[in-house]
Amino acid sequence: MRAHWPEYAIEAAGIALFMLAAVGCTVALEHPASPLRAALPGALARRALMGIAMGTTAMALVYSPWGQRSGAHFNPALTLAFLRLGRVAPADAAGYVAAQFAGALAGVALAGAALGTPPAHAAVRFAATVPGARGAGVAFAAEAAISFGLMLTVLVVSNTPRIARWTGACCALLVASYIAFEAPLSGMSMNPARTLGSATGARVFTSIWIYFAAPPAGMLLAAESYVRIAGARRVRCAKLHHGGGRCIFRCGFRGGRSLR
């Protein structure tokens, strides 16, 4: 673990940047004093713009030099799924998960320090994810479903050589679509660390168990499904975009440098 601390630090910094962007965009789109909020009275239009912003952020992180080095998980559920697939060592999984939670909390704290009081407004609530009007059951099912979809997409695209380079773009499209259309059901998290960061900042812990249980369940189910259909050997690496260079995972790329 001591040798892999740079990757852990990248995971913390990456999700911190993601949370800073999430809170900032939510302030810009949902705070009553925001000109964008006045210009876009329709909730769907605001969610679509939020989806584009966060999808672009996610894609930039995946393809950045940092993201290419750590694998751009930024999500404990994703890391646990790759642990199940045998591509992440248990010690590294523990380091990643700890870093992801720490980074999410730090990102929300930074957003509060940088933006002042607007993130705490009732219309923003640090971009907290809570169940929609249809209740906790629907929120759980929705979170599990979108998490399943994201993980299955990652596995199918990243392990198909001719399209593997588009993994980050496909994930970005899913994030954008989920925010636009699924967010009214669960708030669109797919990420326990992301939810805890916002919940801590806003002090809103409504049904937080959903966001700790449903995303890992959905992603682990996707991993199991992929293994049963394609086989575990088809999973080449735990990186979303394998751009070369150091890889701390149990990497299946020929010619790649693998530090286990």
- Per-residue confidence band for 251, with pLDDT thresholds at 50, 70 and 90: confident
Residue-level pLDDT at 252: 66
| Residues whose CB falls within 8 Å of the CB of residue 60, separated by 6 or more in sequence, listed in order | none
What's the distance, Cα to Cα, between the start and end of the chain in Å?
A: 10
Q: pLDDT tens across 237-247, in order?
A: 999 998 777 89
DSSP 191: -
Check if the beta carbon of residue 76 is closer than 8 Å to that of residue 220.
Answer: no
Residue-level pLDDT at 1: 75
Question: What pTM was estimated for this model as a whole?
Answer: 0.93
Q: Give the per-residue SS3 of 55-92.
A: HHHHHHHHHCHHHHHHCCCCCHHHHHHHHHCCCCCHHH
Decide if pLDDT at 13 tops 80.
yes
Kindly state the helix (H) or strand (E) to which residue 179 belongs, with its residue range. Answer: helix 167-181
Q: pLDDT tens across 193-206, in order?
A: 999 999 999 999 99
- What domains are there in the chain, each with its CATH number? 2-258 (1.20.1080.10)
How many Å apart are CA 54 and CA 19, to the nearest integer?
Answer: 10
- Per-residue confidence band for 73, with pLDDT thresholds at 50, 70 and 90: very high
Residue-level pLDDT at 258: 40
Find the mean pLDDT for residues 167-174: 97
Closest-CA residue to 14 (of 54, 73, 76): 73
Q: pLDDT tens across 83-124, in order?
A: 999 999 999 999 999 999 999 999 999 999 999 999 999 999
How many Å apart are CA 20 and CA 15, to the nearest integer?
Answer: 8
Q: Residue holding tokens 């876009």? A: 40
DSSP 258: E
Return the exposure string of 3-18: e unless at least 16 CB atoms fall within 10 Å of the residue's CB, then b. ebeebbbbbbbbbbbb
